[in-house]
Amino acid sequence: MRYSSTIQSLSPSVTLQLSARAKEMMQSGRDVVSLSAGQPDFPTPAPIVQAAIEAIREGRTGYTASSGIPELRKAVAAVYSARRGLEWTTGNVVVSCGAKHSLSILIASAINPGDRVLLPRPYWVSYPEMVKAYGGVPVFTAEEGITPREIEAAAAQGAVGVMLNYPSNPSGCVPTAGEMREIADAVADSGMWVISDDIYEDLCYIEGGTPHILDFRPDLKERTAVVSGVSKTYSMTGWRIGYCLCSGEWARLAGMLQAHSTSNPCSISQWAALAAVEGKAEEERRDMHRAFLERRDLICSLLSAEEYLQFDRPDGAFYVFAKLTVGGPLDSTAFCSELLDEEGLAIIPGSAFGAEGYIRISFAASDDDIREGVKRLGRFLHGRYDT
Ligand code: PMP
Ligand code: GLU
């Protein structure tokens, strides 16, 4: 059989692969600490679970409208309209099987074969593969972040869209208001569409939250898709509910593609997500946020004692993205694979995010795992690189 050469050219998801390998090793009895997965380790808050149980009991178990139940779409539109001071309505919202699926159908609906899409480095592992899967060509910024000049240059070379992700996975970076204003103005001049992946928007550790492109240039609303969901904020990664807010036409196309591919996202999960979006688990959300902030401080203080690592304290998300300063170039994939085999510590290589020589360490883990993980990393580094 001849398979699709486009799909054959994609790379596997390193984040999912490595997390799965760590889990397998644990199940086979090995002592493994996993600081790999980007998922909260808390149970889903009880009021959300309760809403799901009620949905099952009340028999809300059939197909729903393929773009999501009107109640959830309406609630998402209301929350984000208030948050950004803009007006979205139900027709601007598509609820999908996780924010990953929202991204996928938005990209599919926005590009034609050969279209270039600009991705700031370091980028989340799935962006380039999604762009390629739909016939597009990912193009990247030269260094970390994105400058107005790079936006201008990419547009001049035919880029049709740009993907933004703040707080960033993998770096936890949040731009300043000044930086975001410059990005927003450059994007507005470029004519490109924008997908703003805001999945970590509620996991921000700085006063005032994450500056948003639409706060500076609300006139970009018609060509900006905002993506978010309940996975990270409410510890609901397995429930698979994400959503997007965009122009009516973009939502119509993305919704149509979804209808032909997955139908609707899980009906029960949608009712659970509605409880989350309506604020039924605010206390639990705040507690989890506080725990992540404390873990961020713990891991940063432990890692800062490590001479072979250089990193900026993340302002959001739950990852430390560290440069390995071991002298000379380094294959981060081999590094992480050997670290897992020798020390039983799972972390993600920077190569997955277009940043060779870096590692991503998740602090969505218990204090004990964070302490043990940092200890194992230090032992591995010193065993290898001390002279
Ligand atoms: N975007 C980024 C940057 C992420 O880290 C993730 C986490 N997997 C997603 C999107 C997808 O989230 P979800 O689990 O809701 O599909
Ligand atoms: N987003 C998480 C991560 O980067 C989960 C894995 C994935 O969806 O790829 O680790």
Q: What is the pLDDT of residue 251?
A: 98
Find the mean pLDDT for residues 296-304.
Answer: 98
Q: Measure 387 CA to ligand 2 centroid, in angstroms.
A: 36
Give the tokens for residue 132.
């390629």
Q: Are residues 79 and 151 in the same domain?
A: yes
Q: Are residues 138 and 172 in the same domain?
A: yes
Choose the final residue of a domain: 277, 298, 327: 277
| Torsion from C-alpha of 57, 59, 62, 65, nearest 10 degrees | -90
CA 161 to chain centre: 18
Q: Measure 254 CA to ligand 1 centroid, in angstroms.
A: 18
Q: What is the pLDDT of residue 93?
A: 98
Q: Are residues 40 and 50 in the same domain?
A: no
Q: What is the pLDDT of residue 323?
A: 96
How would DSSP label each residue in 170-215? TT-----HHHHHHHHHHHHHHT-EEEEE-TTTT-B-STT----HHH
Q: 3-class SS at 224?
A: strand
Q: Are residues 73 and 175 in the same domain?
A: yes
Residue identifier of the C-alpha nearest atom 4 of ligand 2: 38
Q: What is the pLDDT of residue 328?
A: 76
Judge residue 163's burial from the number of C-beta atoms within 10 Å of its C-beta, 0-12 exposed, 13-18 middle, 19 or more buried.
buried
Give the tokens for residue 46.
């009880």
Q: Are residues 182 and 109 in the same domain?
A: yes
Residue 178 belongs to a domain with what CATH number?
A: 3.40.640.10
Find the mean pLDDT for residues 310-337.
Answer: 93
Q: What is the pLDDT of residue 165?
A: 98
Find the mean pLDDT for residues 215-243.
Answer: 98
Give, as one character, the DSSP assignment of residue 368. Answer: H
Q: Are residues 230 and 322 in the same domain?
A: no
Q: What is the pLDDT of residue 19?
A: 85
Q: 3-class SS at 238?
A: helix
Reported as a single tens digit per residue, the pLDDT across 153-182 is 999 999 999 999 999 999 999 999 999 999
Neighbour count for residue 43 (Cβ, 10 Å):
10
Residue 20 belongs to a domain with what CATH number?
A: 3.90.1150.10
Residue 18: pLDDT band with limits 50, 70, 90: confident
Whether cis (ω within 30° of 0) applies to the bond prior to 122 is: yes
Q: Measure 70 CA to ligand 1 centroid, in angstroms.
A: 23
Residue 241: pLDDT band with limits 50, 70, 90: very high
Find the mean pLDDT for residues 128-152.
Answer: 94
Give the number of residues written for the chain: 387
CA angle 217, 222, 224 (to 5 degrees): 70
Q: Measure 62 CA to ligand 2 centroid, in angstroms.
A: 29
Residue 329: pLDDT band with limits 50, 70, 90: confident
Mutate to test the pocket of ligand 2, among 14, 16, 41 (most ligand atoms within 8 A of CB): 16
Q: What is the pLDDT of residue 237?
A: 98
Residue identifier of the C-alpha nearest atom 5 of ligand 2: 38
Choose the final residue of a domain: 218, 245, 277: 277
Choose the final residue of a domain: 235, 251, 277: 277
| Ligand located closest to 199 CA | 1
Q: Measure 119 CA to ligand 2 centroid, in angstroms.
A: 17
Q: What is the pLDDT of residue 249?
A: 98
How would DSSP label each residue in 277-343? HTTTTHHHHHHHHHHHHHHHHHHHHHHTT-TTEE-PPPSBTTEEEEEE-SSS---HHHHHHHHHHHH
Q: Is pLDDT at 318 greater than 80 in this prediction?
A: yes
d(C-alpha 34, C-alpha 383), whole Å? 20
Q: Is pLDDT at 17 greater than 90 in this prediction?
A: no
Greatest distance between any 2 Cα atoms in the chain: 66
Q: Are residues 267 and 342 in the same domain?
A: no
| Ligand located closest to 316 CA | 1
- C-beta 170 within 6 A of ligand 2: no
| Ligand located closest to 173 CA | 1
Q: Are residues 11 and 90 in the same domain?
A: no
- C-beta 13 within 6 A of ligand 2: yes
Find the mean pLDDT for residues 62-85.
Answer: 98
- C-beta 37 within 6 A of ligand 2: yes
Q: Are residues 195 and 102 in the same domain?
A: yes
Report the percentage of the chain scoring pLDDT > 90.
93
Q: What is the pLDDT of residue 12?
A: 84
Q: Is pLDDT at 370 greater than 90 in this prediction?
A: yes
Residue 13: pLDDT band with limits 50, 70, 90: confident
CA 16 to chain centre: 13
Q: Is pLDDT at 327 greater than 90 in this prediction?
A: no
Q: Measure 152 CA to ligand 2 centroid, in angstroms.
A: 30
Find the mean pLDDT for residues 285-293.
Answer: 98
- C-beta 98 within 6 A of ligand 1: yes
Find the mean pLDDT for residues 124-132.
Answer: 97
Q: Is pLDDT at 30 greater than 80 in this prediction?
A: yes
**What is the residue range of 323's domain?**
5-44+283-385
Q: Are residues 209 and 224 in the same domain?
A: yes
On average, the pLDDT of the chain sits at 96
Mutate to test the pocket of ligand 1, among 127, 231, 235, 258 (most ligand atoms within 8 A of CB): 231
Residue 325: pLDDT band with limits 50, 70, 90: very high
Find the mean pLDDT for residues 265-282.
Answer: 98
Strand boundaries in the chain, DSSP class E = 33-34, 93-96, 116-121, 137-144, 159-164, 193-197, 224-229, 242-245, 309-310, 319-324, 345-346, 348-349, 358-362
Q: Are residues 240 and 375 in the same domain?
A: no
Q: Are residues 29 and 121 in the same domain?
A: no
Q: Residue 386 contacts by C-beta under 8 Å, 6 or more apart in sequence? A: none
Into how many domains does the chain fold?
2
